[in-house]
Amino acid sequence: MRSLFGKTSPSNVLETFVKMDPSRSPFIKERMSVIYDAECLDDLYQQVETLQLNGATFKVTYVKNNGQMKSENEGFERRRAIEREMGLHINGLADLRHPDQSFGIMHVNRKWVFGEYLKSESVWFRHQKKPNGYSTALSTRVARAVVNIAIPNPTGIKAIDPCCGIGTVLVEARSMGIDIVGSDRNQLIIPGARENMAHFGLTGEINVADIHDITSHYDVAIIDLPYNLCSVITPEEQLEMLQSARGFAEKVVVVTVEPVDEILLKAGFSIIDRGVAKKGLFSREVIVCH
């Protein structure tokens, strides 16, 4: 929320002027682009009568607000009744199966809102079924979140994953249309990364290269640091990697299972934000650096 919208919400509903495809994030369920709002339903019905659909068919969905107290929640029959009543006030033809436009109605923060409704699609979930994988690789869900933290607004951004491994981050980023390239010094892993990309109909540059040899400049680098479960990397080697990244990227998002604050500061970075992704007893820290 901090990276994508610049603020957080104490409830499961976030009000923002940032219009974003909800399918970008594993943690966003749906989006309503508010057209009308009112303190009572009757006033909202009157406003909706002015809506111009120009012959398009429509569907209205009551969007449940699970953050409300039980006493504020509408029952199933009441929700369907509100949907039907709202539909009667819209000047157009309802189509519950294949509407041209989908609208939502919701009770939130003691007011009623009506607007365009878009449900998210779990794109990341499909990416779990890639041909090649590693048990220590980021999950597709976490990888997608990391990409969004690193690149909240992809417009004009050039990114790199210089330790791309099997390509989990690359698949998530390219599926969102982000301009990213991948590289890894392990030439044996590159064919698997390329196969994973091709499996989902994605294209992108993936090269054999050591992080120390990267000469092009990028706006953002995403680095999932190697750790000692499958390879041995010393603090000195970590420092060298991060110093190299500082030379070719303005912003670096580091994913690590070990404390690296001291190394990041020694490499010349400022730590801007951080969070932890946990899976059972195993946790990874995501650190945003400039």
Strand blocks (E) in 29-162: 30-38, 57-62, 93-94, 101-108, 111-119, 158-161
**Mean pLDDT, residues 18-25 taken together:** 96
- In the chain, residues under CATH classification 3.30.2130.30 are 30-119
Q: What is the pLDDT confidence band of residue 137, given thresholds at 50, 70 and 90? A: confident
Q: What is the pLDDT confidence band of residue 244, given thresholds at 50, 70 and 90? A: very high
**Mean pLDDT, residues 167-177 taken together:** 97
Start-end of H helices in the chain: 2-5, 41-48, 76-89, 123-126, 140-150, 168-175, 190-199, 235-248, 261-266
Q: Which CATH architecture best describes the domain 123-289?
A: 3-Layer(aba) Sandwich (3.40)
Model pLDDT, residue 281:
79
- For 181-220, how does the pLDDT look when each residue is reduced to its tens digit (9 = 90+)? 999 999 999 999 999 999 999 999 999 999 999 999 999 9
**What percent of the chain is predicted at pLDDT more than 90?**
86
Model pLDDT, residue 134:
83
Q: Residue 156 carries which DSSP code?
A: T
DSSP 175-216: HTT-EEEEEES-TTTHHHHHHHHHHTT----EEE--GGG--S
Do residues 216 and 248 lie in contact, with contact meaning Cβ atoms separated by under 8 Å?
Answer: yes
Q: How many Å apart are CA 19 and CA 289, to the nearest integer? A: 25
Model pLDDT, residue 279:
80
Model pLDDT, residue 227:
63
HSE at residue 248, side-chain half, CA atoms within 13 A, is 22
Radius of gyration of the chain (CA): 23
Model pLDDT, residue 188:
95
**Mean pLDDT, residues 219-246 taken together:** 85
- For 27-38, how does the pLDDT look when each residue is reduced to its tens digit (9 = 90+)? 999 999 999 999
CA distances from 18 to 6, 7, 14, 64 (A): 9, 11, 10, 21
- For 138-169, how does the pLDDT look when each residue is reduced to its tens digit (9 = 90+)? 999 999 999 999 999 999 999 999 999 999 99
Query: Quick check: 8 pLDDT over 80?
Result: yes
Give residue 58's Cα distance to chain centre: 28
Query: Quick check: 259 pLDDT over 80?
Result: yes
- For 48-92, how does the pLDDT look when each residue is reduced to its tens digit (9 = 90+)? 999 999 999 999 999 998 765 555 567 899 999 999 999 999 999
CATH class of the 30-119 domain in this structure:
alpha beta
- In the chain, residues under CATH classification 3.40.50.150 are 123-289
Q: What average pLDDT does the chain have?
A: 93
